[in-house]
Amino acid sequence: MKRYAMEELQIPNSAIITEPASRDTVGDAVFTKRNLVAPLGWRQVLLVTSDYHLPRALAIFSFVYGPGITVEGMGAASADGERFGTSESQSMAAFRNTFDGISAGDDAAIFERLQARHPFYNGEIYPRISL
């Protein structure tokens, strides 16, 4: 995406912020909040993703960011959306199961649960993350 923004949209490298720590949508939300949104004091964020992915991404970002940050969404049209319906539903169910019992916006509890139960962050699939 960064290369596309630079090459196709002529956005200078200095104007693009990337978040390399994330490994999935949950990580995108956790690490952008932790490393960008909170330090910069943002109270409103526009989330742009594929149209088929938008409902799940919006639910995840809204949960992670919590009630103090408004998350709005914009979906980019995708011809492949119907193909991903089942996996999006399964991923949403897995997200809800993983973070059940945690309050929206509770950074410490969300990060702890990510580290303990999410296979992309707890060492099952990729190396375990640490603070």
Least confident interval from 19-23, 31-35, 70-74, 95-99: 19-23
Q: Give the DSSP letter string of 102-115.
A: PPTT-HHHHHHHHH
Q: What is the pLDDT of residues 56-79, one digit of tens each?
A: 999 999 999 999 999 999 888 877
Position 3 scores a pLDDT of 83
Please report whether residue 130 resides in a domain: no
| Segments forming the whole domain that contains residue 82 | 24-117
Residue 9 domain flag: no
Given this model, what pLDDT does residue 20 score?
86
Buried b (16+ CB within 10 A) or exposed e, 39-52: eeeeeebebebeeb
Total domain count, the chain: 1
| Structural domain contains residue 19 | no
127 has a pLDDT exceeding 70: yes
pLDDT of the residue at 131: 67
